[in-house]
Amino acid sequence: MTLKRLSIQNLRNLQAVDLEPSPRINLLYGENGSGKTSVLEAIHSLALGRSFRSHKHKPLIRHGQEAFTVFGRVSSRGADIPLGVHRQKDGQSSFKANGIQVSSIAELASYLPVQVINSDSFQLLEGSPKVRRQFIDWLVFHVEPQFFGVWKGAQRCLKHRNALLRRDRIDRSELAVWDRELLTLSEALHQYRSQSVAQFRAVFLELLESFVRIPGVELNYFRGWDRERSYEEVLKANFEKDFQQGYTHSGCHRADLRITVNGQPAGEVLSRGQQKLVVCALKVSQAYVFANTTGNRCVYLVDDLPAELDQHHRARLVDWLEKLGGQVFITGVEREALLADWLDRPHLARKVFHVEQGELKAVDETSSAANE
């Protein structure tokens, strides 16, 4: 997928921005607060209806305005697909694809798969299992068409099961109905996730080895319940505890991706620099598996790359991004630092944009900043 056009109105400090990005590399530079990260937020909102910085949409609306609008034209397999997102302060929203109202965020997400690399990406190592579970499910969602329906069904079962567990008295026959459906759906989710993780693990370890040598790194998938017992056995064994505390302790909603170094959590033993490298390898590996499985490519949003990696490791990440062959948007404060990673790659189609006080202007990368 490639974003061919992007139009933004009243998103943060961007009043009216319209650009035609390069199909490959797009470099955006400007002072902090100029609006360059807001451009990335707009792309993410076009893909998922929200920013990667927050699930709340009201802070995205420009001060004094009632709504923000993002329009884009996506090229996929030779077809151009118009996408539009409009979100208002009062909570009303409109998501459209090909001029037709989209029924869900999941449907919207299928048109423009995006990956984000920024300072928050470290939550993959330091954050809760939910963060890593969402990371796994991004890949499964985009490569397995049946996954989302199964996932929704499992969430519905868990909701009803937990509601029954919170009652003073439980009708065991009613609980058994939800348990049977939950067993089937949970096993299906486990199969989808484990298959994707198996492909992903091999790519990740190979990429990481080429990026930086960290002995003892392992990546393992935990399905959310004891691997020595069936889920049916686990639910029966946990019933009293589930009933006493009013919720289901084990299941697909507890799945996790465990990244360790010599058996210890990676987030606890790796240096900050090593964590950055591992996170980059995780993000890029997903795109490799996605491309190999579907024949499509995702769009990368990389916020403040020079601040996140030193020059040597930025060069390796740039190598990876080049080999992926997809579209990339990268921000940075210093023009020279941002351009330095690409000067020896004249064969790559790229555009450079200067962002200042909410306005964006395409510039000639060979001209001096003083002459802009």
Q: What is the pLDDT of residue 365?
A: 74
CATH number at residue 128: 1.20.1050.90
Model confidence band, residue 368 (pLDDT cutoffs 50, 70, 90): low
Give the C-alpha separation, 294 to 297, whole Å: 8
213, part of any domain = yes
Q: What percent of the chain has pLDDT over 70?
A: 98
288, part of any domain = yes
- Helices 172-211 and 129-143 cross at an angle (nearest 10°) of 90
360, part of any domain = no
Sheet with 67-76, strands from edge to edge, namely: 14-19, 2-11, 67-76, 79-88, 93-97, 100-101
| Residue 344: burial class (beta carbons within 10 Å; 0-12, 13-18, 19+) | exposed
Range of the domain at 260: 124-295
Q: What is the pLDDT of residue 372?
A: 53
269, part of any domain = yes
Average pLDDT value over all residues in the chain: 90
| Residue 272: burial class (beta carbons within 10 Å; 0-12, 13-18, 19+) | exposed
Say if residue 22's pLDDT is above 90: yes
Q: What is the pLDDT of residue 208?
A: 87
50, part of any domain = no
- Contact residues for 133 (Cβ-Cβ < 8 A; gap 6+): 255, 256, 257
Q: What is the pLDDT of residue 169?
A: 85
Q: What percent of the chain has pLDDT over 90?
A: 66
> What's the whole-number mean pLDDT along residues 18-46?
94
Q: What is the pLDDT of residue 364?
A: 84
249, part of any domain = yes
Model confidence band, residue 342 (pLDDT cutoffs 50, 70, 90): confident
The 3-state DSSP class for residue 139 equals helix
164, part of any domain = yes
> What's the whole-number mean pLDDT along residues 236-252?
95
Say if residue 240's pLDDT is above 90: yes
Apex 227 CA angle, 226 and 233, nearest 5: 55
* Mode of pairing for the β-strands spanning 25-29 and 67-76: unpaired
Say if residue 37's pLDDT is above 70: yes
> What's the whole-number mean pLDDT along residues 341-370?
81
Q: Which residue has the higher pLDDT, 64 or 77?
A: 64
Model confidence band, residue 78 (pLDDT cutoffs 50, 70, 90): confident
CB-CB contact of 360 with 35 (8 Å): yes
Spatial CA neighbour of 297 closest among 316, 323, 330:
323
Say if residue 367's pLDDT is above 70: no
Least confident of 74-88, 204-218, 222-236, 334-348: 334-348
Per the listing, tokens 């539009």 go with 84
CB atoms < 10 A from the CB of 323, how many?
10
Least confident of 8-12, 229-233, 314-318, 367-371: 367-371
Number of domains in the chain: 1
CB-CB contact of 289 with 139 (8 Å): yes
Which tens digits make up the pLDDT trace of 147-177? 999 999 999 999 999 999 999 888 888 999 9
Q: What is the pLDDT of residue 370?
A: 44
Give the C-alpha separation, 2 to 148, whole Å: 24
Say if residue 304's pLDDT is above 90: no
Say if residue 89's pLDDT is above 90: yes
Tokens matching residue 57: 């949409």
44, part of any domain = no
Apex 154 CA angle, 150 and 159, nearest 5: 150
Model confidence band, residue 221 (pLDDT cutoffs 50, 70, 90): very high
